[in-house]
Amino acid sequence: GAGVSQSPSNKVTEKGKDVELRCDPISGHTALYWYRQRLGQGLEFLIYFQGNSAPDKSGLPSDRFSAERTGESVSTLTIQRTQQEDSAVYLCASSPRQRMNTEAFFGQGTRLTVV
């Protein structure tokens, strides 16, 4: 597709269950970001991948959160033992390259609700 694709678009899960969110970046984009937006709050940085370099995980809120990306392809964000405070829209963005003035292209997000 032409844009960043995320799946699922909506996910309702029970507290304590694990969830996996998927992001398909734009083909050829080497940089991939995960962000989170909780209700009524701004966007929070979670994790950043750039090519085959070690990811910047500085935004992950706890060790229940992890993400993977193989090369310059799909990324998955996994949340283990979900808690109600994990409810948010999880947004993925990709950029053509890791340069200072590179535009980021966002996906539609995955709305996660933990009940």
Partner 1 sequence: KNEVEQSPQNLTAQEGEFITINCSYSVGISALHWLQQHPGGGIVSLFMLSSGKKKHGRLIATINIQEKHSSLHITASHPRDSAVYICAVRSYGGATNKLIFGTGTLLAVQP
Positions that interact with partner 1 (CB under 8 A): 33, 35, 41-45, 48, 50, 56, 58-59, 91, 93, 98-109, 111
The least distance separating partner 1 from the CB of residue 65, rounded to whole angstroms, comes to: 16
Choice between 15 and 98, CB closer to partner 1: 98
The least distance separating partner 1 from the CB of residue 24, rounded to whole angstroms, comes to: 13
Choice between 17 and 53, CB closer to partner 1: 53
Q: Name residue 83's amino acid.
A: Q
The least distance separating partner 1 from the CB of residue 81, rounded to whole angstroms, comes to: 26
Per-residue burial over 38-65, b if 16 or more Cβ lie within 10 Å, else e, is: eeeeeeeebbbbbeeeebeeeebeeeeb
What the block records as the tokens of 15 is: 């507290």
Choice between 17 and 97, CB closer to partner 1: 97
Choice between 55 and 80, CB closer to partner 1: 55
Q: Is residue 6 classed exposed, middle or buried when 0-12, 13-18 and 19+ CB atoms within 10 A define those classes?
A: buried
**Which is it for strands 10-13 and 110-114: parallel, antiparallel or unpaired?**
parallel
The least distance separating partner 1 from the CB of residue 78, rounded to whole angstroms, comes to: 20
Q: Is residue 87 classed as helix, strand or coil in its secondary structure?
A: coil
